[in-house]
Structure 1
Amino acid sequence: MPATSKLHAADLGTDVSRSNSPARILTLVHHHGSLSRAQLTRLTGLNRSTVSVLIAALTAQGLVYEAAPEGEAQVGRPSPQVHPNPAIAALAVNPEIDAVTIGLVGLGGRVLTKVRYPTERIPTAAEAVNIAAAVIAGMRGELDAKYRVVGVGVAVPGLVTAVDGVVRHAPHLDWRNEPVAAMLAAATGYRVRAANDASLAAEAEMMFGAGAGIANLVYLNGGASGIGGGIIADGRLLKGVSGYAGEIGHTLVRSDGTSCHCGAFGCLETEVRRAPLLEALALDAGEPAELVRALGGSADPAVTAEVHRQVAHLATALRNAVNIFNPEAVVLDGFLAALYAAAPEQLLAAVTAQSMREPGSEVTIHPAALGADLMMVGAAELAFAALLADPAGFPGEAGVS
């Protein structure tokens, strides 16, 4: 978790008004993990008595709690620390080509439980929903006894309509026009929202990871299903008309490249892929950290050549993103983070050299920080959104929001 003294980009971009001050307090505490009353007074611009009243109201609802600050004894009367209550939780679901992962995330962004359910083949939408519903049903006794669940967020590797949670096209899952949010809501009784996995991951990194404190960033994730992306502009996720924005994986990087499932040629995700790296290293699919170690320890010229080839194409895509969005940072995840670790100087030099001088000189490149918990944290944010926007309305009714 980032230092609590650092204002998060998500807080800079919030549109919560002073008239909804409980939402401002709860959102700040959720994003930072804990804040003192003094810090909340400074960050909100409210007076101390108002902040105290708001904290008392949120405490009465069981959304936050106060505790004495940890560490060495302080001179004078220390300001109590306000913490999010982790018993207020969200369920998270992430369907993939070889598994469905279900997690429980507490308020404050910490993953409490995670179950990865492998599948023998690519699951259909109905199968993924049934798997998630069955796992959630198995957790129900503990959930009802120990937690207050605000809902379910689903992170899908594909195009998802934001307003209704319909998966319009998830090419690697072969899903089209699947009402996943409505299906899972009917199966579980919880409020369910769904969105693109990479966009949710971008928000999670902005709130809790490598992008904390950065209001303008580009996030790219590389996995078995291809490359997804998300754009944070002025502290907010750039969504587009229907929530489809951020598909940097379909940026043109090679005019004579191979055909892509999207109908174009030479897309980033057809030229920069995990499979050739694993093949060159004689590795089975593994965690990104394993790929980082393997690439770092290889002296095979064929591996080096493949890394340099892919880094060159990745640099072309990032050059376009830097020129268009003028980000402060690029955050790379999955096998893209392994590529960066294998040739960091080459990637940054190529991006800087190809970009316009001014935006190119301002951008930095970082690996993602949340690791294997990223999709769970991102999906949970969907479920927490209604609570953070209106704490007074908690708990909400079950169903699709």
Structure 2
Amino acid sequence: MRAELERDRSGPQGKDAIRRQNLSAVLRAVRRSGSISRTGLVQELALSRTTVGELVTQLVGLGLVVEDDVKETGTAGRPSHVVRASDLVGALAVNPESDALTIGVVSLGGRILYRVRHEAGNVHSLDDVVALCRATSDELRKVLPGGCRIAGAGVAIGGQVSKRSGRVLLAPRLGWRDADVASGLSRALRMPVFVDNNARLVAVAEQRHGAVRGVTDFVYLFGGAGGIGGGIVAGDAVLSGRDGLAGEFGHMRISSAADVDYGGFAGTVEALIKRDDLVESLGLRHVTDAELESLVRTEHAPAFMRVARRQVRALAVTLANVANIFDPEVILLGGFLGMLAARFDDQLRAAMLAATLPSIGATVDVRTAGEPVNGALWGAAELVFDRLVQDPLDVALAKT
């Protein structure tokens, strides 16, 4: 199948289509590997050395990849050419939450080139988000490396995003309902804008760059200020559902308790495991993720321990259900769920295994993800880069 990439077709249109497919295949392989030699590309894509050389040269000319001369240790002769994605091509990444709006620029090579956090005394309106994104975009030429170009913008939303319409159907903690986020931002920024659920985007980012790189079957669960959601990868494919709404683990009922979640449902995962409750148990109102992580790791006050242990018990039931349903290789926990898991690892694991089928529980690996904000920015950027990689010749890059 890979060898077909190089097969010629009669006529200029056929040749052009194959050329585009080959460029896409090379750029995808470069991004997947982080850096790879031309020889490695020849072996992975089953293309000739001449073809790979021409494709890499064209991608270099487009400014999408760079080549470094690397001399392998203990070898003689000329240094080999190692290809990596350019850090001078980026995507604007936007992550609005109830407590803050984070805007960043992520490079095609996976580096976060810029990040700013706007604290929210109350919920950011969509107009606020558009205005702050426009102001940030205007400032980028002052803070980004010279010659950096932006391929588009991606938005990670803590809510339901329709795959068919692209509209935010419901983001309870933001107060947004049936909001056309992409069109408003696209007009303001004068670039293409793509929107998806934040937890699903982080799952994609973690598979490509983070804690589950290369894992083909995993479930990601994220807990943040906006609630609890998740992403599912099975057989190396992201499960998004009929309209892109899959992964709403927060609304899964696990108890007969009267506590309600942000959607108004009682006894759910999100009703019993809330970041707000954890923060309140510490005697605080507003706290960054970094501050909360430090406190969760060291706090012993009775009020905190009571809330934390109750949340850990609910989280164990949730993980057991997820394991029994999906039989994943890994369950990855992000946000404050990962903080709880790190602090109460033994208790969480024991309670989870007690409710998990032995044949599944014996092999599932529970891990914690990296910094949640970075994951959301990476994931939002991947919305843009997926389009760029699909056809490197068809994306207009705006200079900052």
The Cα shift of 1:331 comes to: 1.1
Report the residue type matching 2:104 in the other structure: G
Q: Which residue of 2 aligns with 1:311?
A: 312
Residues 72 and 79 of structure 2 are in contact (CA less than 8 Å); yes or no, is this contact kept in structure 1? Answer: no
Separation of aligned partners in 2, 1:104 and 1:86: 10
**Amino acid paired to 1:349:** A
Query: How many Å apart are 1:305 and its aligned residue?
Result: 3.1
The CA distance in 1 between the partners of 2:292 and 2:214, in whole Å, is: 29
Match of 2:9 in 1: none
Cα distance change, pair 17–181 in 1 and its aligned pair in 2 (3 A): farther
CA distance in 2, matches of 1:344, 1:17: 47
SS in structure 1 of the partner of residue 389 of structure 2: helix
CA–CA separation in structure 1 for the residues paired with 2:71 and 2:337: 38
Tell me the equivalent position of 1:209. Answer: 210
Shift of 1:17: 6.6
RMSD over aligned Cα, in angstroms? 2.5
Q: Aligned partner of 1:113: which letter?
A: Y
SS in 2 for 1:327: coil
Cα distance 1:77–1:313, how it changes in 2: closer, same or farther (>3 A)? same
- Specify the SS of the correspondent of 1:65: strand
Q: Which residue of 2 aligns with 1:243?
A: 244
Map 1:109-188 → 2, pairs under 5 A = 109-140=110-141, 146-188=147-189
Tell me which residue corresponds to 1:264. Answer: 265
Structure 2 counterpart of 1:364, one-letter code: D
What is the aligned partner in structure 1 of residue 91 from structure 2?
90
How far does the alpha carbon of each residue in 1:16-66 deviate from its partner, in whole angstroms, 9 at most, with x for none? 977522212111222332112232233323333332222122112221111
Cα shift at 1:84: 0.7
Deviation per residue, 1:121-153 (Å, 9 max, x gap): 211112211221222123256679522211000
Specify the structure having the higher radius of gyration (Cα): 2
Is contact 2:99-2:225 (8 Å) kept?
no
The structure showing larger relative contact order (alpha-carbon pairs under 8 Å, at least 6 residues apart) is 1
Q: For the structure 1 residues 69 and 310, does the alpha-carbon distance in structure 2 shift closer, same or farther, using more than 3 Å as the test?
A: same
Q: Relative to structure 1, is the Cα distance of residues 70 and 262 closer, same or farther in structure 2, using a 3 angstrom cutoff?
A: farther
CA contact (8 A) 1:340 1:347 kept: yes
What's the offset of the Cα at 1:210? Answer: 0.3
Q: For 1:262, what is the secondary structure of its paired residue?
A: coil
SS in 2 for 1:391: coil
Q: Distance in 1 between matches of 2:350 and 2:245?
A: 30
1:322 maps to 323
Offset at residue 364 of structure 1 (A): 0.6
Q: Which runs of 4+ in 1 moved over 4 A?
A: 16-19, 140-145
One-letter identity of the residue aligned with 1:69: V
Gap runs ≥5 in structure 1: 1-13
What TM-score do the two structures reach when normalised by structure 2? 0.89
Amino acid at match of 1:116: R
Residue 77 of structure 1 and its aligned partner are, at CA, apart by 4.4
In 2, are the aligned partners of 1:252 and 1:317 still within 8 Å (CA)?
A: no
Aligned to 2:287: 286
What are the ranges of 5 or more consecutive residues in structure 2 without an aligned counterpart? 7-17
- Report SS of the residue matched to 2:261: coil
For the 8 Å contact 2:224–2:275, the answer to whether it is kept is: yes
Counterpart of 2:357, as a letter, is M
Aligned partners of 1:259 and 1:284: how far apart in 2?
Answer: 20
Maintained 8 Å contact 2:71/2:78:
no
CA distance in 1, matches of 2:317, 2:74: 53
Q: In the comparison of the two structures, how many residue pairs are matched?
A: 384
* Aligned residue number for residue 103 of structure 2: 102
1:355-394 aligned within 5 A: 355-394=356-395
Q: Distance in 2 between matches of 1:122 and 1:91?
A: 22
CA deviations 1:355-386 (Å, max 9, x no partner) are 22222222111111245311111111111111
Q: 1:74 to 1:290 in 2, by over 3 A?
A: farther
